[in-house]
Structure 1
Amino acid sequence: MATPDFVLELRKHVGHARLWMPGITAVILRPHNLPEDQTLPTELPEGPLDPTQWDVLVVRRSDNGKWTPVTGIVDPGEEPAVAGIREALEETGINVIPQRLLSTQVVGPVIYANGDDTIYLDLAFSMLVAESSRNTDPWPADGENTECAFVRADQLPPMNERFTEIVRQALENQPAARFHSH
């Protein structure tokens, strides 16, 4: 679903006026070429991740054709990490395990083609592919994306600076979140 029902209901009252929305970015990782006799990890190892040894799940957005990690809006009352789990499954058919908060950042204003004005408080997470999705190929499950793929972390498609930085932070694998101050 491209726009959550609660946002559509809000837009009936405020029109295109600016909305402050909670959002998530999920950097979904899995080991690159893990042997079949080994299970997927349920926790990230300590220290930096070698980009030649990890895959990142990326999606190509249907609205602008750009590659990104999985993103989405947090539903009212929903925990942000749970929103990441939900968005990954809705958008790609992949089950994930949240690992850590990577960063918080204000994104926007974003003005959509229909005139809607939004500013997001984005919470970025690193997540691992769950064993239950080990043999699942990602697919554009809900129409928000035209393509989904696991790509080795050192061979990512072009992404904007914000998403490139968030993926870099996920690979740095530091335990503390980054807080942006402009």
Structure 2
Amino acid sequence: MATPDFVLELREKIGHAPLPLVGVTAVVFRDEKILLGKRADNGQWQPVSGIVDPGEEPADAAVRECAEEAGIVIRVDRLALVQQIPRMTYANGDQVDYLDLVFRCTWVSGDPHPADGELTEVGFYDLGAMGQVDQEHVRKVALAVAEDDPATFRGGR
């Protein structure tokens, strides 16, 4: 996965210390199918995701990530989930705390393909064919299925 330049610049200053970042997950629907990609770094199947750039609107980041990673144009319909992902520690020791914003999106145009090397396979799949998708991503998809449900928030009870 390509690390954004702003993260590399921050890492020069803070080393491996925990870095809070905002991420987006785009749950993209085309008819009754969902966009899934196989990540190049770990081989996991999941919806397209990425990091929000400084000053970027999160919904715009979801649109950008789908264009960059899967070569498609999407429309963001609604926010489906807001959650703090447990701290991740990468192989190089970098620690990250991601706030994940999950959006329900609709395919507009383009044929999905591995556009930038972050995915090795990408396409639209039946919802019933998500056996290789981990439970956390299945949950994200489930919360995005409804077209007009309110967003789900973890915590704040």
Is the pair's TM-score, using the shorter chain for normalization, greater than 0.5? yes
Deviates more, 1:169-178 or 1:68-77: 169-178
Find the counterpart in structure 1 of residue 28 from structure 2: 28
Which digits, 9 at most, give the CA deviation of each residue in 1:91-129, with x for residues without a partner? Answer: 000000000000100012011111110010000000001
Deviates more, 1:147-156 or 1:66-75: 147-156
Find the counterpart in structure 2 of residue 98 from structure 1: 76
Deviates more, 1:77-86 or 1:168-177: 168-177
What residue identity is the alignment partner of 2:60?
V
Which digits, 9 at most, give the CA deviation of each residue in 1:50-80, with x for residues without a partner? Answer: xxxx110001111110001000000001000
SS at match of 1:129: strand
Whose strand proportion is higher, 1 or 2?
A: 2
Find the counterpart in structure 1 of residue 19 from structure 2: 19
RMSD between superposed Cα atoms in Å = 1.3
Which digits, 9 at most, give the CA deviation of each residue in 1:116-171, with x for residues without a partner? Answer: 100100000000011xx1xx321111111111111012222422222100101111
> What residue ranges of structure 1 are gaps of 5+ in the alignment?
32-53
What residue identity is the alignment partner of 2:53?
D
> What residue ranges of structure 2 are gaps of 5+ in the alignment?
none
Residue 169, structure 1, aligned to residue 147, structure 2 = no
* Displaced runs of 4 or more, over 6 A: none
Find the counterpart in structure 2 of residue 137 from structure 1: 111
How many residues matched? 156
Find the counterpart in structure 1 of residue 33 from structure 2: 55
What residue identity is the alignment partner of 1:5?
D
**8 Å Cα contact 1:2/1:143 also seen in 2:** no
TM-score of the superposed pair, with normalisation by structure 2: 0.95
Quick one: percent identity of the two aligned structures? 47
TM-score of the superposed pair, with normalisation by structure 1: 0.82
